[in-house]
Amino acid sequence: MTAPTTMAKNIINSLPIDTSYDEIIKELAFDRMIKKGLEDSKNGKTISSKEMELQIKQW
């Protein structure tokens, strides 16, 4: 597994040179959310759309 600092550097280096600080933070957060979602899916920690719909109706 790649170290988090290396992954962050790779993401930052892939962005245009004039990318704002806020955009860098958004890109890092987006990458983390995607990786976390894929990890959850791989480990069976997901629910169906129908189950989510039922949960939302209970709010």
pTM for the whole structure: 0.75
**What pLDDT does 2 receive?**
78
Eight-class DSSP state of 18: T
**Of 47, 1, 8, 46, nearest in space to 27 by CA:** 8
Low-confidence ranges of the chain (pLDDT < 70): 1
Q: Which residues of 29-55 are buried (b: 16+ CB within 10 A; e: fewer)?
A: eeeeeeeeeeeeeeeeeeeeeeeeeee
Q: Where are the domains of the chain?
A: 4-12+19-57
